[in-house]
Amino acid sequence: MELFDGFFSGKPVRLLDHSQAELIFSKKNEAILSFALEDAIATAVGEKNVPPTVRLWVHDRTLVLGIPDSRLEHLEKGVAYVRSLGYDVIVRNSGGLAVLLDKNVLNVSFILPDKDELSIHGGYELMYQFTKRLFEEETDDILAYEIKGSYCPGDYDLSIDGKKFAGISQRRVRNGVAVQMYLDIAGSSHERASIVKRFYDLARGEKDTAFAYPDVNPSVMASINELLGASFTVEQISKRIEALLLRYTGKLEHGPLTEGERSVFFERLKQMEKRNEIIKRLS
C-alpha cells in the first residue's frame, strides 16, 4: 500500500478551496496571507482541533521569494524589474527559492498532524504519489528528481520528459506539517522561467555567493497542458482534486475556518509582514 492510501483512505479530510477567494478574514486575498493562513491551519491540525486539511489557492502575478533570495546582493534591481512587469513580490516562510505565480498556477497544500510520524521525505513522497494519481488517466511518466536549470530546484521536482511542471516545499509548525506544491497548469512556463531568470541576473550581482542560486534555463520548464497536449483550467483541476480525495476518503468536510485558526492567523500575519519589511523598503 502506498503512502497516499494510508493517509487518506477512509479518513475525515477537510477541503478548503481558496482558488477563487477574493477575501480571507475580510482581507484582500494576497499571497502574503496564504503563508500566514497555512501556519494557522497547521497549528490547528497539529493540535487535532480540525481534520487534516487540503487547501487549494491561486495568486495572480506574484513572485514568491525564498528567504535566501531576500539576501541577494542587488535585490532591489531584481524587485524593480519584476514590479515593472506588474508583479507583486513577497518573501515566504517555507523552504525553497523563487517561484512565479499567476492565475494559471494552482497551489495545493496538504496540512497534516503528527509531524514526527511523517518524515520530510515522506511528505514529499505523499505529494508526488498524489500528483501521479491526479493525472493517471493521461500519463504514467511523471518522475520526481531535480531538474537542473529549473527555478526553485529540488529532489522532488515533478517532470515529464525532463521538463518540470511542479515543485514541492514543506513547512513544519508545532505538531503540524504543510506540504505545499505549485502546479503549472496553463500558460507559458517558459515565459515564467524567463522572468525568474532575469530577476536573478539582475539581483545576483557579479560577486560569487556562498549560496548556490539557480542558473535558470527556461527550456526545462513547461505546464502540464504543454506536456500532455491538454487544455485543463485551474477550475477543472480543482474539481478533479476534490473528486480524487472523495474517492479515497468517502466524505469531505468543507470548512469553515475556526476562531482558533483566525486568532493564530493574525499572529502569523504580523510575522509575515515583518519578514517582508525588506521588500516594502524597496518600494
Question: Could you tell me how many helices (H) and strands (E) the chain has, helices first?
Answer: 9, 13
For residue 230, which phi and psi values (nearest 5 degrees)?
-110, 180
Buried b (16+ CB within 10 A) or exposed e, 50-86: bbbbbbbbbbeebbbbbebbbebeebebbbbbbeeee
Residue whose C-alpha cell is 480571507: 24
Calculate the CA 72 to chain-centre distance: 22
Nine-digit cell string for 87 = 508583479
**Selected catalytic residue, list 99, 152, 166, 221:** 152
Calculate the CA 257 to chain-centre distance: 20
Active site residue 267: no
**267: nearest Cα among 94, 43, 17, 63:** 43
Positions annotated as catalytic residues are 152
